[in-house]
C-alpha cells in the first residue's frame, strides 16, 4: 500500500504575487514612487520580505516560501494597503537605476527624471554618460533642493572629477542626505549645505547646476492621494502655479554659473505655463522616459542677468 504525500498549502512567490495584486487592486492604491502598477509594487515588497534580490522575480516565481516568510510578506502587503504609504517608506529604500538610497518620511521618494541624464536604466553608474556634450567634464556642481542627496550622488558618479555642493532648506532632508552620502563614501566630494535656494551660496559659481525643486500647484496639492501626502509638503508645493521655486532659480542661476555652465531643472507638467511665463528663454527639453517637456536645460548665456 502506498501513502501519497498530503498536499500542503502552495506557498510560492507566484501565489504571493497574485494575492498582492488582488489586494492592491481591491484597495485602489496609488503608485508613482518607484513603480507604476500593482504587479511591480507587489513584487518589490514580496522580494524584499523574502530576502530575495530585487529584479529577480522571474527566477523565483515558483520558489517555495516558508510559513514564516509567507506571513512576513502578507503582513507587508497589508501594511501597504492599510497605511497607504509608498513602499519606499515601508522598506526604507528607493532606487534610481541601480543606485539604492535610504529614505524615510523626512524626504520625498527619489524619482527625478534628471537621474536618467546620468544613469541609463539597468546599468551601473559609469562616467561620461548621456545627454551632456561629449567629453564635457564639469568639475564643480550644485544640486539645489537635494532632498535625499540622490541626484548629487549620481552626478558625482557620472563626473568623477567633480566636487558637488548639495543644498536643501530642510534640516531633516539634509540628515537623510548625509546618511546616503556616507553610504556611498562620497563625503570627500559631496558637501551638504543648508540653504534657501541660492541664499547661502553667495559668491559661489558652478559648471553645472541641477535642481528638482518643488513644482506642484496649490490646487493639485489639495487633491493628492495619501501616498503623496505621506511626503513632506515642502518637497512638493510651489505656489499657485507650481513655479515659485523655478522662477526664483531662473532669476538667480546665471550669477552662480561659470562661463560655459549649464542649468538643468525638472518642472513636472508645467512646461506650457513656464514657456508662457518666459517666452524669450531658449529652453531645451531633453527626452526622458516621461517624454520631452519634464526637464529643461539652459546655458548660462541664455539665462537672464539678475
Ligand X SMILES: C[S@@+](CC[C@H](N)C(=O)[O-])C[C@H]1O[C@@H](n2cnc3c(N)ncnc32)[C@H](O)[C@@H]1O
Size of the site for ligand X (CB under 6 A): 22
Give the total residue count for the chain: 306
Pick from 65, 173, 181, 190: which binds ligand X (CB under 6 A)? Answer: 173
Q: Which stretch binds ligand X (CB under 6 A): 5-13, 14-22, 33-41, 144-152?
A: 144-152
**Residue 267 contacts ligand X per CB under 6 A:** no
Q: Which of 191, 169, 172 is nearest to 244 (CA)?
A: 169
The half-sphere exposure of 164 on its side-chain side, counting CA atoms within 13 A, is 31
**Residue 234 contacts ligand X per CB under 6 A:** yes
Distance of CA 25 to the CA centre of its chain: 24
Query: For residue 152, what is its C-alpha cell?
Result: 548629487
Closest to ligand X by CB, 54 or 239: 239
Q: Which stretch binds ligand X (CB under 6 A): 28-36, 147-155, 184-192, 200-208?
A: 147-155
Give the separation between CA 306 and CA 203, rounded to whole angstroms: 13
**Residue 270 contacts ligand X per CB under 6 A:** no
DSSP of 176-243, one letter per residue?
HHHHHHHHTT-TTTEEEEE-STTTT-TT--EEEEEE----B-HHHHHT--HHHHTS-GGGTB-STTS-
Q: How far is the CB of 146 from ligand X (least distance, A)?
A: 5
**Residue 177 contacts ligand X per CB under 6 A:** no
Q: Which stretch binds ligand X (CB under 6 A): 3-11, 56-64, 192-200, 267-275?
A: 192-200
Q: How far is the CB of 288 from ligand X (least distance, A)?
A: 13
Q: Which stretch binds ligand X (CB under 6 A): 11-19, 105-113, 252-260, 285-293?
A: 105-113
**Residue 170 contacts ligand X per CB under 6 A:** yes
DSSP of 127-191, one letter per residue?
TT-TTSPTT---SEEEEES-TTSHHHHHHHHHSTT-EEEEEES-HHHHHHHHHHHHHTT-TTTEE
Give the separation between CA 293 and CA 270, rounded to whole angstroms: 8
Q: Would you say the C-alpha torsion 301, 285, 248, 95 has a positive or negative sign?
A: negative
Q: Which stretch binds ligand X (CB under 6 A): 58-66, 75-83, 164-172, 296-304?
A: 164-172
**Residue 164 contacts ligand X per CB under 6 A:** no
**Residue 169 contacts ligand X per CB under 6 A:** yes
Closest to ligand X by CB, 140 or 195: 195
Pick from 45, 46, 192, 197: which binds ligand X (CB under 6 A)? Answer: 197
**Residue 112 contacts ligand X per CB under 6 A:** yes
Q: How far is the CB of 57 from ligand X (least distance, A)?
A: 25
Write down the residue that cell numbers 517624454 correspond to. Answer: 291
**Residue 142 contacts ligand X per CB under 6 A:** no
Give the separation between CA 251 and CA 25, rounded to whole angstroms: 45
Give the separation between CA 30 and CA 208, rounded to whole angstroms: 34
Pick from 25, 56, 78, 196: which binds ligand X (CB under 6 A)? Answer: 196
Give the separation between CA 57 and CA 63, rounded to whole angstroms: 10
Pick from 140, 146, 158, 246: which binds ligand X (CB under 6 A)? Answer: 146
Q: How far is the CB of 148 from ligand X (least distance, A)?
A: 6
Binding residues vs ligand X (CB under 6 A): 107-108, 110, 112, 145-148, 150-151, 168-170, 173, 195-197, 212-214, 234-235
Amino acid at each position: 500500500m502506498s501513502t501519497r504525500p498530503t498536499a500542503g498549502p502552495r506557498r510560492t512567490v507566484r501565489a504571493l504575487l497574485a494575492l498582492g495584486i488582488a489586494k492592491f487592486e481591491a484597495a485602489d492604491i496609488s503608485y508613482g514612487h518607484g513603480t507604476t502598477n500593482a504587479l511591480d509594487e507587489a513584487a518589490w515588497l514580496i522580494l524584499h520580505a523574502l530576502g530575495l534580490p530585487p529584479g529577480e522575480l522571474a527566477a523565483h516565481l515558483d520558489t517555495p516560501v516558508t510559513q514564516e516568510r509567507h506571513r512576513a510578506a502578507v503582513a507587508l502587503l497589508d501594511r501597504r494597503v492599510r497605511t497607504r504609504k509608498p513602499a519606499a517608506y515601508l522598506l526604507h529604500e528607493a532606487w534610481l537605476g541601480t543606485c539604492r538610497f535610504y529614505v524615510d518620511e523626512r524626504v520625498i521618494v527619489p524619482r527625478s527624471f534628471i537621474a536618467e541624464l546620468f544613469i541609463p536604466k539597468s546599468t551601473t553608474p559609469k562616467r561620461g554618460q548621456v545627454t551632456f556634450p561629449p567629453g564635457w567634464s564639469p568639475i564643480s556642481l550644485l544640486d539645489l533642493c537635494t532632498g535625499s542627496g540622490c541626484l548629487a550622488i549620481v552626478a558625482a558618479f557620472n563626473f568623477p572629477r567633480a566636487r558637488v555642493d548639495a543644498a536643501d532648506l530642510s534640516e531633516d532632508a539634509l540628515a537623510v542626505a548625509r546618511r546616503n552620502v556616507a553610504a556611498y563614501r562620497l563625503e570627500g566630494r559631496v558637501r551638504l549645505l543648508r540653504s534657501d535656494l541660492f541664499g547661502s551660496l553667495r559668491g559661489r559659481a558652478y559648471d553645472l547646476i541641477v535642481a528638482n525643486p518643488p513644482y506642484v500647484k496649490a490646487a493639485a496639492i489639495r487633491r493628492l492621494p495619501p501616498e503623496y501626502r505621506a511626503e513632506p509638503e515642502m518637497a512638493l508645493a510651489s505656489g499657485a502655479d507650481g513655479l515659485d521655486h523655478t522662477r526664483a532659480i531662473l532669476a538667480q542661476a546665471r550669477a552662480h554659473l561659470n562661463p560655459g555652465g549649464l542649468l538643468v531643472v525638472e518642472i513636472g507638467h508645467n512646461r506650457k505655463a513656464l514657456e508662457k511665463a518666459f517666452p524669450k528663454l531658449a529652453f531645451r527639453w531633453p527626452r526622458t522616459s516621461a517624454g520631452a517637456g519634464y526637464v529643461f536645460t539652459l546655458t548660462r548665456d541664455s539665462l537672464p542677468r539678475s
